[in-house]
Amino acid sequence: MNASAPIELLHRIDALPALPKAAIDAMAALRSDDSSSEHCAELIARDQALAARTLKLANSAFYGIPRRVGSIRDAVHLLGRRTLGTMVTAVVVSQQFDPGRCPGFRFDAFWRHAVASAVAARAIAHELCLDEELAFTCGLLHDVGRLALAAHMPGPLSQALAQAKARDVPLHEVETEVLGADHADIGAAIVERWQLAPDVAAAVRWHHRPSAAEAATGRLALIVHAADAIAHALDLAGLEDEHVSEADMAAWTGLELSPAQFLRVFEQTESQVQGLCRSLTS
């Protein structure tokens, strides 16, 4: 184990650029009951690139709006502030890291998995009558620490990727051996730095071990844990050596989804991933 790695990692996380101010202001306003819809629309529209990409996503088949969404103001009215907040988060996060050249790291597969996990988390939350938008955000961000590693510590991540492949073991186990921390810890630190909802950071931190999370956030971490497993199990990343990590059985039994509900989640996840990936990355 490389004992100095976590300290170096934390310093690098501190040095990461903050999210664009326009995005932070817009996300805060969309979460606040005190901000008018018009004010939210104005904040998003201040960043033309953010507005354009948000509109593109709003018009994607994933959101199923029967008529064209022509303005951010329309999007606020037609989709609601919480959904739009999720959309802005997705757009901003998808632009934050350039994975550059990290041997063994496939950015396209990474995004397919992130989006599949987000869609699956949302579908699970729907089945359980829980907060779908929060689940979507957590699913989308659960591996963001790995993206940060690819962008900022490509050497150690590449080493971990090679070892995980050679030994056919989960990458997060090797990350801990090589880096002294895994992508879940790193991702949670990044989400905290971005000042997203505290529940998101907890779900990211515990998505491999939801049984270790505090009760208040354990359910969200469990949803992400299951969504992550479903995304791998549906084989959506296009990786020949794809695998599903072991389930945290101490937590899994609390999921309370029937077989029919799981099958519906599978179907929705598989049918929605490709279109959403295209909307987020093109």
Chain residues in the site for other proteins (CB under 8 A): 107-108, 111-112, 168-170, 229-230, 232-236, 238-240, 242-247, 249, 252, 259-267, 274, 277-278, 281-282
Burial class (CB in 10 A: 0-12, 13-18, 19+), 254: exposed
Start-end of H helices in the chain? 5-15, 21-31, 37-45, 48-58, 72-79, 81-93, 107-127, 132-141, 144-152, 154-167, 171-179, 183-193, 198-205, 215-233, 249-252, 259-281
Question: Is the CB of 128 or the CB of 169 nearer to other proteins?
Answer: 169
Question: Is the CB of 9 or the CB of 102 nearer to other proteins?
Answer: 102
Cβ atoms of residues 221 and 230 within 8 Å: no
Question: Is the CB of 16 or the CB of 247 nearer to other proteins?
Answer: 247
Least Å from the CB of residue 37 to other proteins: 32
Burial pattern 10-29, b for ≥16 Cβ within 10 A else e, equals eebbeebeebbebbbbbbeb
Instruction: Give the CA-trace dihedral at 238, 243, 248, 251, to 10 degrees.
Output: 30
Least Å from the CB of residue 21 to other proteins: 26
Question: Is the CB of 81 or the CB of 208 nearer to other proteins?
Answer: 208
Q: In angstroms, rounded to a whole number, what is the distance separating the alpha carbons of residues 149 and 252?
A: 29
Least Å from the CB of residue 168 to other proteins: 8
- Hey, what are 195's tokens? 């000042």
Q: CA-CA distances (angstroms) from residue 142 to 40, 79, 166, 242, 277?
A: 26, 24, 24, 17, 16
Least Å from the CB of residue 221 to other proteins: 17
Q: Report the alpha-carbon angle 151-94-33, nearest 5.
A: 130
Radius of gyration of the chain (CA): 18
Nearest to 118 by CA among 214, 14, 227, 216: 227
Least Å from the CB of residue 231 to other proteins: 11
Question: Is the CB of 26 or the CB of 114 nearer to other proteins?
Answer: 114
Least Å from the CB of residue 158 to other proteins: 20
Given the structure tokens 């490709």, which residue do they identify? 274
Question: Is the CB of 33 or the CB of 168 nearer to other proteins?
Answer: 168
Least Å from the CB of residue 15 to other proteins: 26
Q: What is the DSSP letter of 2?
A: -
Question: Is the CB of 33 or the CB of 246 nearer to other proteins?
Answer: 246
Least Å from the CB of residue 93 to other proteins: 15
Question: Is the CB of 69 or the CB of 123 nearer to other proteins?
Answer: 123
